[in-house]
Amino acid sequence: MERIASWHQTHWDWRAAGNFILGGTGSGLAVSAALASLAGAAIPPLVFVVAALCVMSGLGLVWLEIGRPWRFLHVFFNPATSWMTRESLIAPWLLASLFSAAWWMQNPLTLLAGLFGAAFLYSQARVLTESKGIPAWRERRILALVVTTGLAEGASVLLLFAAISGVSIITAAWLALGFVLLRGLAWARYRERFRRQPAPIGTREALERIGRPFLLVGTAAPAAFAVLAIALPGSASVTAPLAAVLAIGGGWALKHAIVTRAAFNQGFAVPHLPVYAKLRSARGSKPGWS
C-alpha cells in the first residue's frame, strides 16, 4: 500500500481564525449578557454594540480572505447542507437583535440577542466539525471546546465592562469562572482524544505546544483571579480585569492554534499503485502519523 503523508492546509489562515475568534467572542458576549440580565444585572448598551462589532469584524475578515470577494453571496445558497450558510443566515438576525437591545434596552430583546448568539456560536463550531479531511477539526469533541471558548471569552468581556462600570461585577465574575472551567474541561477531553488515537504528527506537536500555557495562563490563572474577585469584592477592580484579559487571551491563542497551526490534512493511502507510477516513484513517502 502506498501512503501519502499528511500536509498542512493553507486555505484558512489568520483571517479565518479571526472569524472564529471575534465571532465567538461577540456571540458569547451576547449569550453572557442575556444570562446576566436573567440574574437581574444591568447591562450597559455599549456591551451589545461591542458584541455586534466583534461579529461584524470576524465576518469581514472572512470576506477579505476570499480571492473574489463578491462571490460571498454563494454562501447563502445551501442552508440545507452547509453550516457556513446557516451561520451567515443567522448573522443578520443576531446583529439586528444586538443593535435593537442597545437602542431600546428591553429584556426581551436582550434574551433574543442571546438566543441568536447561541445559534451563531453553535453554527461556527459545526463548520469545523464538518471539515472531515482535517483530524484537528473533525473531532466531535471540538464542538464543546469551541462553544465553551466563545462563552468564556464573552463572559470575560462582560467582566471587563463590569469592572470598569462597577455594575454587577459578582454576576459577571461567576459567569466567567463557570465558563472558563467548562472550557478547561472541554480542552482536556479534546486533548485526550489525540493522546489515545492516531493523528498527524504536526497536529500533535501544535497541540502540545499550546497545551501547558493554555492550562496555566488561560485557565488556572483567570479562574483563580475570578475566585478572588468573588471572595474579596474589594480587590475586584484589579483581579476582575486580570481574570478577563487572561481568559480572553487564552481563548484567542487556542483557537488560532487549532485553526492554523494544528490544521493538517490526514493524507491518504492508495491500495494498488499503477505500475507506471511505481516506476516513476524512485522513493516512497512515509505517512506523517504517529
Question: With the CA atoms of 218, 194, 126 and 131 taken in that order, what torsion angle do they form, in degrees rounded to the nearest 10?
Answer: 130
- pLDDT score for 88: 83
Classify residue 287: in a domain, yes or no. Answer: no
Q: What is the pLDDT of residue 172?
A: 95
- Does the residue 108 lie in any domain? yes
Residues 123-163: tens digit of each pLDDT: 999 998 888 788 888 888 999 999 999 999 999 999 999 99
Give the tens place of pLDDT for each residue, 274-283: 555 555 555 5
Structural domain contains residue 289: no
Domain of residue 55 covers 2-280
Does 53 map to a domain?
Answer: yes
Q: How far is CA 278 from CA 85, 242, 274, 281, 286, in A?
A: 43, 59, 6, 5, 15
Residue numbers of the chain with a pLDDT score lower than 70: 1-5, 65-81, 83, 267-290
Query: Do the domain assignments include residue 290?
Result: no
d(CA 111, CA 270): 53
pLDDT for the residue 144: 96
CATH assignment of the domain containing 32: 1.20.1630.10
Number of domains in the chain: 1
Please report whether residue 104 resides in a domain: yes
Q: What is the pTM of this model?
A: 0.87
Establish if 144 belongs to a structural domain: yes
pLDDT at residue 1, rounded to an integer:
41
Residue 242 resides in a domain: yes
pLDDT given at position 283: 52
**Quick one: pLDDT at residue 274?**
58
